[in-house]
Chains A and B, each alone.
Chain A
Amino acid sequence: NAGVTQTPKFQVLKTGQSMTLQCAQDMNHEYMSWYRQDPGMGLRLIHYSVGAGITDQGEVPNGYNVSRSTTEDFPLRLLSAAPSQTSVYFCASSYNTGGYGYTFGSGTRLTVV
């Protein structure tokens, strides 16, 4: 079992560029989510999905898009990168039952210059 796989691990973007962070899980989890981690702020929810074809916004969705065409994949798109989006991004997945707990990917460290 690979668990949750995120690519790339590191990325440097110029302001205004777009890119997609990839996330895939092989555990047949219904629930997937994207968090960003910034110093002193913990993890903040960007977008989440409770199943294929269903997505919703989290706490900090502006500047990001998601889609969920399959159970396995949940890509995060940055539409026009800004320095404020410099962060570490984590994808996580879980069964869609209360209290199961997340499996996290190893993260993508993004720098926008």
Chain B
Amino acid sequence: AQSVTQLDSQVPVFEEAPVELRCNYSSSVSVYLFWYVQYPNQGLQLLLKYLSGSTLVKGINGFEAEFNKSQTSFHLRKPSVHISDTAEYFCAVSDQDFGNEKLTFGTGTRLTIIP
């Protein structure tokens, strides 16, 4: 069984400042890793994913994430945030061996951009 820990439930950041949202996972097998974004009163949207290969993954809206196998982490970063980035962000993991898209989600990090 796998699990996901998002260490920060809320992150306030000034507009145009950089941000890092932390995610650690636990699994006994190789994993796929995902970040999803949820804007207010909407469903979840895929931001980026790591399947294999380069450990630095670029996604939509200027976000990127780095997979660190030794630290079992998949932190999300953006060099300069905008008001429109205000949302809740979810890290998720699935086992490569499971053979389908059964995902385990973290509890989410609410990103608030301060003008």
Contacts and interface: CB of A to CB of B under 8 A. Distances in A.
Interface of A: 4, 31, 33, 35, 40-45, 48, 50, 58, 90, 92, 94-102, 104-107
Given A31-B101, A50-B100, A94-B101, A99 B44 contact: no
Interface stretch (B14-22, B63-71, B76-84, B91-99): B91-99
Interface of B: 4, 6, 9, 32, 34, 36, 42-46, 49, 51, 90, 94, 96, 98-108
A37 to B, nearest CB: 9
Contact of B100 (A41, A58, A98): A98
Contacts of B46: 101-102
A96 B104 CA distance: 16
Nearest to B45: A104
A42 B42 contact: no
Given A31-B101, A43-B105, A99-B49, A90 B44 contact: yes
A98 B49 CA distance: 11
B67 to A, nearest CB: 13
Contact of B96 (A42, A98, A102, A107): A98
A50 B44 CA distance: 20
B7 to A, nearest CB: 13
B110 to A, nearest CB: 10
A52 to B, nearest CB: 15
Nearest to A29: B101
6 contacts: A33-B101, A42-B106, A58-B102, A98-B51, A99-B32, A102-B46
